């Protein structure tokens, strides 16, 4: 599958799910225009409570559509935007990307991947057991977070479903993603 955008979503309020949109606008240094998590400083409530002045490394949330297929086989009917992502991708192994990977989307948007999304208990409000379903263990027993990645916007632009995604890896050595 050619890396591309499957769906785009946003919400102006702090809701878990975000309605799908025909398009969204990314704004450099802020995130998704009109989204509650847009801003230079952190907007996620739990992080604001700890330190409202920390930089917002979670401006844009991306989830791979392939996760929805995996969850569907486990009995969960998850659709784009339902678990709070702004951009649903197809054909991109988001979880395998190293930190600081740049994603060029559409004609002009550029994002830099900052880390993994740590799933929260609010997922269980969508469907009981969903939080556990987006967590796994690798062969060494390490926790694997499958709920997507977070990014910051380096260059703004419009993004629509069907837009191509170009992946630009950072210089080696690559650093694995960590929760942000």
CB 9 within 8 A of CB 115: no
The angle at the Cα of 35, spanning 154 to 40, to the nearest 5 degrees, equals 45
**Looking only at Cα atoms, what is the longest distance across the chain?**
42
Tens-place pLDDT, residues 126-146 = 999 999 999 999 999 999 999
Mind listing the domains of the chain with CATH numbers? 4-168 (2.40.33.20)
Tens-place pLDDT, residues 100-136 = 999 999 999 999 999 999 998 999 999 999 999 999 9
Burial class (CB in 10 A: 0-12, 13-18, 19+), 25: middle
pLDDT confidence band for 155 (50 / 70 / 90): very high
Closest CA to 157 of 108, 93, 113, 88: 108
């Amino acid at each position: 599958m050619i890396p591309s955008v499957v769906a785009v979503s946003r919400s102006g309020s702090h809701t878990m799910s975000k309605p799908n949109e025909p398009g969204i606008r990314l704004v450099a240094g802020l995130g998704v225009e009109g989204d509650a998590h847009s801003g230079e400083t952190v907007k996620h409530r739990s992080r604001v409570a700890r330190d409202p002045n920390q930089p917002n490394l979670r401006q844009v949330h991306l989830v791979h559509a392939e996760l929805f297929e995996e969850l569907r086989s486990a009995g969960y009917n998850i659709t784009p935007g339902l678990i709070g992502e702004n951009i649903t991708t197809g054909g991109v192994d988001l979880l395998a990307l190293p930190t600081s990977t740049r994603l060029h989307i559409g004609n002009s948007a550029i994002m830099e991947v900052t880390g993994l999304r740590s799933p929260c208990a609010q997922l269980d409000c969508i469907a009981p057991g969903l939080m556990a379903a987006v967590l796994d263990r690798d062969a060494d027993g390490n926790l694997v977070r499958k709920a997507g990645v977070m990014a910051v916007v380096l260059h703004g632009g419009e993004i629509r479903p069907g837009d191509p995604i170009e992946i630009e890896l950072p210089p080696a050595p690559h650093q694995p993603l960590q929760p942000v």
